[in-house]
Homo-oligomer: A and B are copies of this chain.
Amino acid sequence: MTKQRQIIFDLMKQQCGKHPHVMELYSLAKKKDPNINLSTLYRTLTEFKKADIVEELHLEEEHHHYEIKQAEQHQHFVCEKCGAITEFDLPAEQKIEKELAKVHGFKIKTIKMIASGLCKKCR
């Protein structure tokens, strides 16, 4: 565990519930270590993904977002107007998986859902 990895790990914990992308993390990391390198950040995120510490989200075109891995799986809602990202649990997930197993024969391991529309404030 190097200084750089510690910084990135701490950052991810601090950002829990948020969904920063690489450049946001890079800016934050540079405040703690101005010499930290972007490739170190990328390499560390890759390691953390492998170690199941961090999850990569594909919420937007431009770049990936990252979040620290939480106990329970959850989904993401993106507000079209203000861009706010909200986490939510997929209602009746068990039922959905069972239904799809029945109808299509899938053995579902993960579900990634991105809902978009208007959030509570913007609707």
Contacts and interface: CB of A to CB of B under 8 A. Distances in A.
A88 interface: yes
Contact of A106 (B58, B90, B106, B118): B118
Given A91-B96, A91-B99, A92-B96, A86 B112 contact: no
Interface string A92-123: 10011001100111111111111111111001
Interface string A75-99: 0010010000010101110011001
Copies in the complex: 2
Contacts of A107: 117-118, 123
Interface residues of A, number: 31
Interface in A43-80: 58, 77, 80
A109 to B, nearest CB: 4
A119 B91 contact: no
